[in-house]
Structure 1
Amino acid sequence: MPEESPGKPAEKNNDVWQLFKEAQQNILYLNKQRLLAVEELNKANREKQLLLDRIQQLEAVKKPTTTAELDVQSLCWELLLRIDSMVLAGMTDTAAASDLRKAVMGNKFSVAHAFCDMRQKSDAELLAELHHFSAGSRKYACLDLTEMHGLREIEVESYSYFNGQLHGNRIWTGFTYFSRASLDYIAKSGKQPDVLHIHNWETAIVGPLFWDIFVTQGLGGTRVLLTCHDFDSQCLEQPDKLALCGLDPARLHRPDRLQDNTKTHLVNVLKGGVVYSNKVAMVSSMYSKGRIIRSFSHGLEPTLAIHKDKLLVTPCGFDNSTWDPSKDKFLPKNYSADDLEGKLICKVSLQQHLGSNQIKDLTDGQGIRNLMK
């Protein structure tokens, strides 16, 4: 048997050691790949969880919206059924009902807000409000009022509302809409003004609206003051136009309410303001109350005679010869441009008489804001 050469064991050891090193490198490589695979798996799991969380968030947001949409659809269908029942009962004709249905279906979310309490309303009340909604829905019913926390300036194309170029001379419709909208805002915002000041026929409809609809909405302590420069401009309209702002034409087209004294087939808007206001102030520096009623009433003489106790005559500005603070005997202390000491005393006395708070920080920047509060 041949003998192995002395160099062969060393060569074998080198081969074994080389195989061991290669195996070790392979194991390290496999471990590294395993770690990379685990890291990729963890990353995929994290992304999956993020997607699941996002889906849950979207579903949580979507569920109330879906419910709200179902509520809107349900209310609209119920409202359409009420309109159909009004047609069957003879309360409205098919043409008017068709317009009301279009207004409802074209403004579903506004309808849901405006008629959420429809189940508590009679058909007559609901029909009047539907007419008002239909008239305003084309331009105004979809306004978002959620940001109305204070006063906001709203830019409008006034020519399109008031001179009839775009809307067939619907001047009165524009004024009645804004009058009704103002009262809606006062009631829904919880404001309780002492006095509502309305002026001339343009806002005279506020009187009937206030006493027939809004006085029971937390405004029992509010009173209405109508001021007029004269009674020449009165605004005569067809009685059915009253329904556009939610009023009942049959209830108001009467001699003691809005029926015009001469053209009895029409309603007189200014007359309604006189009848429904607590006080009526006529601006005149020349004529007495009796002379105004007899000679300058422009057909309202019977109405003004009945309500003469509420008629006041106020001058155009103040007569300095009578209302001079340096001579006025009714002031607690007189004052003038040269001596203003008495002005503060008069101010404090007036505040005490009115029961108002004495605001001491009326700076130029804060004065109006404090008064508005």
Structure 2
Amino acid sequence: AEPEEEEEEEDLEEQLEAAVAEMLATSTEQWAVEARVVAEQRVKEFSGEMGGILGRAVKRQEGVFYVTPEEVVPGSPVTIHYNKASTVLAHCGSVTMHLGFNSWNKPLGEAHGGPVVMEEAPAAAAPAAAAAAAAKGPAGDWRTATLTVPAEALSIDFVCSDGGEAWDNNHMSDYHIPVDGAAVRLEARQVAQVEEMFEECYEELKEASIEDLRKTFVRRRVKDRARQGSLATMRKQMRHVLYTEPEVVQAGKPVKIFYNPRNTALSGSPEIYVTGGYNRWKHSQPFNAVKMAPSTSKGKEGLFELSLDVPQDVCIMDFVFHNGITPGSVYDNRGDLDYHFLVTGGSDAAGNPVKEKSLHVVHITVEMAPVAKVGGLGDVVTSLGRAVVEEGHKVEVILPKYDVLKYDQVENMQKISNFSWGGTNNNVYHGKVEGLDVYFIEPENGYFNCGLIYGTDYLHIPLTDPERFGFFSRAALEWLLQSGRQPDILHCHDWQTAPCARSFWEDYQPYGLHNPRVVFTIHNFNYGVPLVADAMAQCNKATTVSPTYAMEISGEAAINPHLSKFHGIRNGIDPDIWDPSVDPLLPLNYSVANMVEGKAAAKAELRNRSQIQHNDAAIVGVVTRLTHQKGIHLI
């Protein structure tokens, strides 16, 4: 490992040790309360299960098995006699008895370590004639196994097999033998069992909490590395135009900026000026039209440079460049985005960290994973929302309340308000989905009680999908207005909520919903082109799912007139949702350390479920819809 990585690992371990120590000092009482609740629940469940077992347990099943002696006493030996001739094992050779006790709570067998191969019973040990007559064959085919009844046993449980593929499990009910006095001891032991179980539950909770904390630290480190890698990539992508020395700018320290006009609209300008500021242009010490000096350093010919002392109370630097200070001068403002560099270590006069102002973002969407997902749109809304929250911003999602929502994936859904609009009453519900605040709008006109998300165009009802989603788009804006919200960003998605853009500017921005700006994202340009074209014209900024897709559709008539505000931003994935180390759906959780074993287990499970042959063949998984847009034709 590199020295920096080793130092980072040591820092992580120290931070983790400190966090564990703090957890141990503050969480013991909480663990104790939770452990007792879990222990009581487990004992209650066990008692209920054992009561059911004892209710059907018998010491003799005529023609199949019986025990000697009839008294089954804890600590004493007992022999189980089994007639294989009366079961599915009639034509098998040897018989193996698989034993356990207390509803298979613990295994039994030779030295309590495994199944027992039963012995042939001597003729004298055969049952009475009546029982023999009931058996298959003249006298049956009896086998025996002897064991000592464990002191804590309430029932003895067994099934039999031929040691291979044939099994007798009493028609999927297993065989159960009651231990004498079991019902009384079961009731008397419940209090003691809670105390015994409490210690076990407490240790489980403690270990699980520490493990969760460790995984949280590891995920945080992975995210920090990814974030730093992304920032480094952004600096590299900008380096052909602008870069700094040092590469990472620190608050309260000097920095030198280098600008290359040859790759901008200022190419060929003999003079370059920079106008700058801090904290998204909101700092009290901006600088205006400072002339940059031609660089004289070797390898930096043609560049312009400027040295600055970065104030202590900043978190970001802002620049635009121009070739003069008179009217008509040409400006380079990076396509209306301006140039920005993050600054580390900023703090105010009281020593508090300086951070960017938190934004309030509202997504208006008809899909959201996992509660209402059809395609990638739903995934993006959820993963983007969670990522923006992690950056310290406020995110809310507005979604139709479909009757086909996966309600079990919504946490604590409750009706919070209603409003009259669009000729109907509209109920508003709130719930949490993947940690995000989601508001569900339910119009009482039944638009979203039709058993599906898309497809009403083909049903025999007097409305279409564009009508339903157009209604929802405006209802979402109406609720924002009536609820008094003033978000910074309204983010609408694809043709379904494209009507938000025009409706906002014409019907809501002049009448009270004055603060937001509109972002529109194209996830799939194959549908609703007229609606997409209108939203492109009305929005402040437009994005699509990757730079490549942006180039592919940039020539379209709906897109081309608005290229100055159109940006391709590659979709990412949520590293928490797609984390194989904690994914409950995998047969074996894995990380980098056991990736080969984990992937092999996943492949084996997929082959088993799908009955795929050829174990040595590679299996490639593609999470996508089967459409041309996704490249299925290439496969």
Query: Normalising to structure 2: TM-score of the pair?
Result: 0.21
* Larger radius of gyration between Structure 1 and Structure 2: 1
Higher helix fraction (1 or 2): 1
Flag the structure with higher strand content. Answer: 2
Higher relative contact order (CA 8 A, sep 6+): 1
Length-normalised TM-score, structure 1? 0.34
